[in-house]
């Protein structure tokens, strides 16, 4: 998916935003690109290829996830099975929404992303890319290796499986203590 400026409306079309759950969106990922108007799969779309069935790493072009700030787009990618997106750049809100749900988003130089895509296409057998978050390294089954950087706070959250609620709950004792000593005339947290 190396097209630049791939926006959230293409990742998850608007007609699927009526759901109230955070799950189940994977079936609608890139819907207009994956399916014919009658609902049959388009044979020439990359994610319909048996070769990439069960892929968990998505290689993407620059400014991936631009457009609206819809959280549903990262939910759809995650629900589809992606756990890592490697791109030349990301839209800021999309990037942060991905990290908040545990979808590792890695920025690499565009030429490096294209090299990884070429390696995947050129390999007749199964091709694997590994993103090692602990050691901040990416490598493949053909000897490719590079380092990457990410925000240390988000890295720790991903390594420990913490979302924003989990982070808050780490301070449950302090919050409870505060509530016990809070002045009565202050608004109550319920």
Identify the residue whose tokens are 């007749």: 124
Let me know the angle formed at the C-alpha of 167 by 162 and 170, rounded to the nearest 5 degrees: 115
What does the pLDDT look like over 2-51, one tens digit per residue?
999 999 999 999 999 988 888 999 999 999 999 999 999 999 999 999 88
Identify the pLDDT of residue 190. 61
Query: Is residue 55 packed enough to be buried (19+ CB in 10 Å), middle (13-18) or exposed (0-12)?
Result: buried
Output the CA torsion sign for 74, 100, 133, 3: positive
Residue 27 domain boundaries: 8-150
Please check whether residues 116 and 185 belong to one and the same domain: no
Please check whether residues 145 and 167 belong to one and the same domain: no
Is the model's pTM score more than 0.85? yes
Please check whether residues 95 and 183 belong to one and the same domain: no
Please check whether residues 134 and 189 belong to one and the same domain: no
Question: 144 or 51: whose pLDDT is higher?
Answer: 144
Residue 127 is part of a domain; what is its CATH number?
Answer: 3.20.19.10
**Does 74 reside within a domain?**
yes
Q: Hey, what are 177's tokens?
A: 């203590």
Residue 185 has pLDDT above 90, yes or no: no
Please check whether residues 21 and 93 belong to one and the same domain: yes
Output the CA torsion sign for 82, 86, 91, 95: positive
Please check whether residues 64 and 108 belong to one and the same domain: yes
What does the pLDDT look like over 75-92, one tens digit per residue?
999 999 999 999 999 999
| Residues above pLDDT 90, as percent of the chain | 77
Number of separate domains in the chain: 2
């Amino acid at each position: 998916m190396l097209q630049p400026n791939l926006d959230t409306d293409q990742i998850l079309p608007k007609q699927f935003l009526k759901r109230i759950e955070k799950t189940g969106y994977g079936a609608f990922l890139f819907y207009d690109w994956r399916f014919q108007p009658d609902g049959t799969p388009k044979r020439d779309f990359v994610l319909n290829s048996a070769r990439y069935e069960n892929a968990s790493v998505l290689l993407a072009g620059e400014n991936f996830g631009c457009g609206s700030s819809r959280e549903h787009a990262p939910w759809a990618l995650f629900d589809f099975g992606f756990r890592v997106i490697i791109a030349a750049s990301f839209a800021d809100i999309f990037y942060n929404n991905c990290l908040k749900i545990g979808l590792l988003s890695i920025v690499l130089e565009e030429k490096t992303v294209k090299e990884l895509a070429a390696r995947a296409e050129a390999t007749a057998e199964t091709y694997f890319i590994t993103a090692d978050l602990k050691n901040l390294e990416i490598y493949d089954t053909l000897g490719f290796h590079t380092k990457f950087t990410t925000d240390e706070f988000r890295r720790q959250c991903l390594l420990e499986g913490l979302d924003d609620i989990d982070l808050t709950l780490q301070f449950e004792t302090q919050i409870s203590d505060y509530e016990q000593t809070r002045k009565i005339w202050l608004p109550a947290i319920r």
